[in-house]
Amino acid sequence: MPRPLAILALIAVVSAVAGALAAWMARARWEAATRDHVARLGAAAAAAAPGVAFRASDTDTLPPPVARFFRAALREGQLPAARVRIRWRGHFNMGGPGRDAWRPFTAVQEFAPGAPGFVWDARIRMAPGLTVFVRDALVGDHASMRAALLGLVTIVRREGTPELAAGARVRYFAEAAWFPTALLPASGVRWEAVDDAAARAVLDAGGTTVSLRVAFGADSLIASLSAPDRMYDDGRHPPAPRPWRARLLKSGVMAGMRIPLAGVVEWDLPDGTFAYWRGEPESIELEAAPERGRRAGSAAPPRGAR
């Protein structure tokens, strides 16, 4: 090989190795930061009060559609979840209203219902070899959002604002449909009657009140959750309150609960409906909260699985 070509080949090899090393280090830093978020979430979960086992008779005073929902979704004696891990797959709309650009994603999400809070760690595949790392979190009163190309080049970084925390609480509240013991009155949720097929769920958290309208289907399970004024931020205009909705599709039994097996999340904007998330849980793992009155060191409750 002529010397100039050999030098170019060496430069190419060194560049490739350097690029791979940089990507590996970025991924390692990202994963370490995610572990830190999850550890802080776990500390908040550990400080939560013991749980109360579900009894169908406890729903007698709830609005009728809410009582039917809990009796359909939960089994008698089911303990509330202290920790939840959901593995997701689906598609995220990286475009905007009128210009859809759906990209596949996978994610692992940790929840602490007693806190309440979550850490969502996702990978969105933009193109072969081109992945965006995304981490959304609500730990205590602090919400954060970060997206980085290959975990290396920051695209979005926001944290610590009241608006972000408010949006994260709405999201947590809606995603609790996948672990419905977190929606029980014993978990701090108030239910207000609307009609025979809907009710309003209210949660006081972080010094703020989150409210969602919950509609139930013919199977008594949640069909949709909506908020009339969640803050919408497209990154180009000042944030503004817009109607927001999560539609839950089909149902099945996972981790001992009857829950949604798919969902679509969307905004109602002046120009029409903008769906931005479609996903389904691949697996759900639950760590049951210690039952109120259980002695320390006594047998632990069973662990939920797939």
pLDDT tens digits, 267-280: 999 989 999 999 99
Q: Give residue 28's pLDDT.
A: 84
Phi-psi region of 181 (alpha: psi -120 to 50; beta: other; left: phi over 0): alpha
Residue range 74-107, pLDDT digits in tens: 999 999 999 999 999 999 999 888 889 999 999 9
Q: What is the pTM of this model?
A: 0.86
Cα–Cα distance measured from residue 14 to residue 109, given in angstroms and rounded to the nearest whole number: 37
Average pLDDT, the chain: 87
Q: How many CB atoms lie within 10 A of CB 104?
A: 12
CATH topology assigned to domain 11-288? outer membrane lipoprotein receptor (LolB), chain A (2.50.20)
Q: Give residue 2's pLDDT.
A: 62
Split at pLDDT 50, 70, 90, the class of 114 is confident
Split at pLDDT 50, 70, 90, the class of 153 is confident
- Could you identify the residue written with the tokens 């370490």? 32
User: Of the given ranges (151-160, 198-207, 247-256, 292-301), which has the lowest mean pLDDT?
Assistant: 292-301
Buried residues in 275-302 as b, exposed as e (16+ CB within 10 A): bbbbbebeebbbbbbbbeeeeeeeeebe
The two three-digit tokens of residue 224, written as one number = 């949709």
Res. 12: pLDDT tops 70: no
Residue, of 178 and 302, whose pLDDT is higher: 178
Residue range 34-63, pLDDT digits in tens: 999 999 998 877 766 667 899 999 999 999
Instruction: Give residues with Cβ within 8 angstroms of 111, minimum separation 6.
Output: 81, 83, 84, 85, 86, 117, 118, 172, 175, 176, 179, 182
The two three-digit tokens of residue 248, written as one number = 């839950």
Q: Which of 137, 122, 114 is nearest to 184 (CA)?
A: 114
Whole-number percent of the chain with pLDDT over 70: 85
Cα–Cα distance measured from residue 219 to residue 68, given in angstroms and rounded to the nearest whole number: 9
297: helix, strand or coil: coil
Split at pLDDT 50, 70, 90, the class of 176 is very high
Cα–Cα distance measured from residue 182 to residue 100, given in angstroms and rounded to the nearest whole number: 33
Contact 212, 223 (CB under 8 A): no
Mean pLDDT on 190-203: 97
Mean pLDDT on 127-136: 94
Domain map (residue ranges) of the chain: 11-288
